A and B are shown apart, each in its own frame.
Chain A
């Protein structure tokens, strides 16, 4: 199968600082959930930021549907259909839930489309409808993350990249986030997930990518990675995965 998003031999870093990524790559297959794992500082978040245009790519390339994305701004990459939900604070805390959702459709110019899609989302996530007029910053962590993930659906993206959606959430709520992600994937949205909790992430993924020291060490079916003794030893805390 041809990759939807091909990242090849990427080198990138912050400002003029040292390269965080050096030789990172990933082939993203349409409609699948991909989980990037690796130790702290491996460059997982940096990889997502480089793909979405927040960081300058120094070497290598990012291709989406065969088209090169290097050098495009985040708003231009979003228009291509790649949506990024950064770690924490992805919301506008002093805007209401409704206003946050409308902002999600900022790049759509037709207000009626935005309103009808916002309405669809409110139907699908009753908690958001219930809190529609509440300021986003006053909701619980899980509700905020639900809003951030639901908001991506407004533009009907091809790819959604999630940077640690489980961060700071209670285990029960974490499961809800993965459930939302699975629903998104079942609708045909391709997911690229970065997860500190590697076991949890891989369990919910189809494909796993192991990143260390800024480069891709290994990628393969998530189940294989979960059961690979070397990877268990190094990155999954040595515990046998269920």
Chain B
């Protein structure tokens, strides 16, 4: 029993981080219908920004988060302006942007590799190597902190979307672009803002990831599949769905890892991706009609 609790807690903590990693992807897809394959590469960029702040200036990775978020938001705005703005009216926007996002991922990976080499990095603040013991159960402090911060950020994002004027506009645009525009929402501004927020979330995730995982520029290929599975399970564009998907799959992966070995735990995400697409392509919280449109 203690084992199950232990595995569940580990899964939930990791799931929290995955949820943050996926939420920016989900927000961008919801508003812009862009499957931003470059999202995990940008998380890695955020992890590098955090790493160098920690390594060179001794700044704690968590304290580096606002900086990483701001830096990535600016990068996001530039990427949006250069790659994603001009074809927004095209009927094939989603198709075009998948390829462009793929190109952006390659560019980011290449740039990071060129600047920082392919050496594996990790930040190791003291809490990253400590654990809390409750009876027989141990909780790695780093994962716990990362999980709690992630859920706090997602919670704040949820409140912002639910109650602020801009949040209304973002949700409205996600649900019915045409109607939102007709009620006075400036779609271009909302798209730009959502993209900037989405990529800032990648920056936040990068700071947390920097002490939870080893990372190097090409690591994002591994993450994109994981993130797609969370987002697809939750329902493309639903942030709540992404969170639920992340927690569910991470806990499941944690059980599978314990039962069959760590190598198999990642399989959970891939198998889930296939199964969801086959059985319930709209995901847990998605709407079937949205698939058609």
List chain A positions with a Cβ less than 8 A from chain B: 15, 52, 54, 73-75, 78-79, 83-86, 89-95, 99, 102-104, 106-107, 151
Are A94 and B165 also in contact (CB < 8 A) when A75-B181, A107-B183 are? no
- A73 / chain B contacts, CB cutoff of 8 Å: 181, 186
A-B contact count (CB 8 A): 66
Contact, CB under 8 Å: A93 / B183: no
Would you give the shortest CB distance from B86 to chain A, in whole angstroms? 14
Q: B91: nearest residue on chain A (CB-CB)?
A: A15
- A92 / chain B contacts, CB cutoff of 8 Å: 171-172, 175-176, 179-180
Complex Cα gap A62–B225 (Å): 50
Q: A161: nearest residue on chain B (CB-CB)?
A: B182
- A103 / chain B contacts, CB cutoff of 8 Å: 168-169, 172, 180, 183
Complex Cα gap A52–B165 (Å): 23
Complex Cα gap A102–B287 (Å): 23
Contact, CB under 8 Å: A106 / B184: yes
Q: Which among A78, A86, A90, A91 is the interface contact of B184 at CB below 8 angstroms?
A: A78
Complex Cα gap A206–B48 (Å): 68
Q: B89: nearest residue on chain A (CB-CB)?
A: A15
Q: List 8 A-B contacts (CB under 8 A).
A: A15-B91, A75-B181, A84-B182, A92-B179, A94-B175, A95-B175, A99-B168, A107-B183
Contact, CB under 8 Å: A75 / B176: no
Complex Cα gap A192–B179 (Å): 18
Would you give the shortest CB distance from A26 to chain B, in whole angstroms? 20
Measured as residues with beta carbon below 8 angstroms from the partner, the interface class of chain B is 10 to 19
Give the dominant DSSP class at B's interface: helix
- A102 / chain B contacts, CB cutoff of 8 Å: 168
Contact, CB under 8 Å: A95 / B172: yes
| B79 beta carbon closer than 8 Å to chain A | no
| B178 beta carbon closer than 8 Å to chain A | yes
- A83 / chain B contacts, CB cutoff of 8 Å: 182
Complex Cα gap A215–B246 (Å): 55
Most chain A CB inside 10 Å of its own CB: which residue of B175, B180, B186: B175
Contact, CB under 8 Å: B178 / A86: yes
Complex Cα gap A15–B88 (Å): 12
Contact, CB under 8 Å: A89 / B179: yes
Contact, CB under 8 Å: B172 / A79: no
- B100 / chain A contacts, CB cutoff of 8 Å: none
Contact, CB under 8 Å: B165 / A78: no
Q: Which among B175, B178, B183, B287 is the interface contact of A78 at CB below 8 angstroms?
A: B183
- A86 / chain B contacts, CB cutoff of 8 Å: 178-179, 182
